């Protein structure tokens, strides 16, 4: 391949810039030209595509967000959108594309591959909910951000003998809650992957105060319910003490990436270019047991593919992600 493109799609994640930088610098070192696509698949369809140089990615490795902008673009689920995107890429002489994003972004990459256009997916999301990888780009930074916030909440919680419900991101996955909760010494962690009873949480809180604790921090993954709903149910289950809800929100998506995310993004970005250089598309890069791995995006579960098509034309996730629970068994 002589010319490739890179885009970021879905919710942004710290380390996306580091991944773009790695794609650009590795490609240039391989004699491949790189184009940037602004605003994800929306920009692809609109032809918002421009050349990137080594200098374009200078001073970007430590920056949060994505300088290529990101967007959620459900229209790309339609064949017309996919074909229009490919037409634009061809107009610019682009022969392969690196897609950095979450599972919605992978679906787009899968469709490009189905139409015979080589695409390589890199997992970029704070949620850590992508199949085919132990860790996603941005997760480590988000966990650090949440730990920092929990430490601060613990200060005020202890000063007032208050119970806090801290709602953290993770639409369907409890990885941020689980990891940050453990790192910050939370008293309860509630995630969508594990059932719990409100009565038990109430007992746990009461027991803690009886033992002389001066705070109680509950980390709640948003995939369970909102912090406000949780607080209401806690009261319904008999909790009578002082209670506050704190929703950390989008601060979890911002900030300078940690060293771990920068290294992960750099390794994955370089691997994506090697794959396209060797004419390989339709795969996603992941990291398992610290080794970079590739999985076919679409195929059968036996082939190790991340997604299969159902007989009704839907998409089935093979080996669905199960939060980081195995890590702590
Ligand atoms: O990036 C993933 C995620 O952070 C989810 O955890 C969260 O539910 C969602 O994005 C929020 O997305 P938006 O910024 O589009 O509201």
Task: State pLDDT tens for residues 157-197.
Answer: 999 999 999 999 998 899 999 999 999 999 999 999 999 99
The pTM score is 0.95
Q: Are 297 and 307 in contact (CB under 8 A)?
A: yes
| CA 11 / ligand 1 centre spacing (Å) | 6
CB-neighbour burial class of residue 71 (10 A; exposed 0-12, middle 13-18, buried 19+): middle
Q: What is the pLDDT confidence band of residue 326, given thresholds at 50, 70 and 90? A: low
Nearest CA, atom 3, ligand 1:
11
Residue 314 has a pLDDT of: 82
Q: How many CB atoms lie within 10 A of CB 290?
A: 8
**Whole-angstrom distance, CA of residue 23 vs CA of residue 50:** 15
Least Cα distance to 227 among 285, 298, 167, 148 occurs for 167
DSSP designation for 291:
E
pLDDT of 324 above 50: yes
- Going from the Cα of 161 to the center of ligand 1, the distance in angstroms, rounded, reads 32
Q: Reply yes or no on whether 129 is catalytic.
A: no
Which 8-state DSSP code applies to residue 124? B
For 62-114, the DSSP string reads T--S-TT-----GGGGSHHHHHHHHHHHHHTT--EEEEEESHHHHHHHHHHHH
User: How far apart (Å, rounded) are the C-alpha atoms in residues 41 and 71?
Assistant: 8
Residue of the CA atom closest to atom 15 of ligand 1: 11
ipTM here: 0.96
Residues framing ligand 1 (Cβ under 6 A)? 11, 125-127, 169-171, 222, 253
Q: Given the CA of residue 169, which atom of ligand 1 is nearest to it?
A: 6
């Amino acid at each position: 391949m002589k010319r490739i493109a890179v885009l970021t799609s879905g919710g942004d994640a710290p380390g996306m810039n580091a991944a773009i930088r790695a794609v650009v610098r590795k490609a240039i070192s391989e004699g491949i030209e790189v184009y940037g696509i602004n605003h994800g698949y929306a920009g692809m369809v609109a032809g918002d595509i421009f050349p990137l140089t080594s200098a374009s990615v200078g001073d970007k490795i430590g920056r949060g967000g994505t300088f290529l902008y990101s967007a959620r673009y459900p229209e790309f689920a339609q064949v017309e959108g996919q074909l229009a995107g490919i037409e634009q890429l061809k107009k610019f002489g682009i022969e392969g594309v690196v897609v950095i994003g979450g599972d919605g972004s992978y679906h787009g990459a899968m469709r490009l591959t189905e139409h015979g256009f080589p695409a390589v997916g890199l997992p970029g999301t704070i949620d850590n909910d992508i199949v085919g990888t132990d860790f996603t780009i941005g997760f480590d930074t988000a966990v650090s951000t949440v730990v920092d916030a929990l430490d601060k909440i613990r200060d005020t919680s202890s000063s007032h003998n208050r119970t806090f419900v801290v709602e953290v991101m993770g639409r369907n996955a409890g990885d941020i809650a689980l990891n940050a909760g453990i790192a910050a010494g939370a008293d309860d962690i509630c995630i969508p992957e594990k059932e719990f009873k409100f009565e038990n949480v109430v007992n746990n809180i009461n027991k803690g105060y009886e033992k002389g604790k001066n705070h109680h921090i509950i980390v709640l993954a948003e995939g369970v319910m909102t912090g406000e709903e949780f607080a209401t149910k806690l009261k319904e289950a008999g909790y009578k003490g002082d209670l506050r809800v704190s929703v950390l929100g989008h601060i979890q998506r911002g900030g300078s990436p940690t060293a771990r995310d920068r290294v992960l993004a750099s390794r994955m970005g370089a691997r994506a270019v090697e794959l396209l250089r060797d004419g390989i598309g339709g795969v996603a890069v992941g990291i398992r047991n610290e080794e970079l791995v590739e999985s076919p995006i679409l195929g059968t579960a036996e082939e190790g593919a991340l997604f299969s098509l159902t007989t009704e034309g839907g998409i089935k996730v093979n080996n669905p992600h199960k939060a980081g629970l195995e890590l702590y068994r």
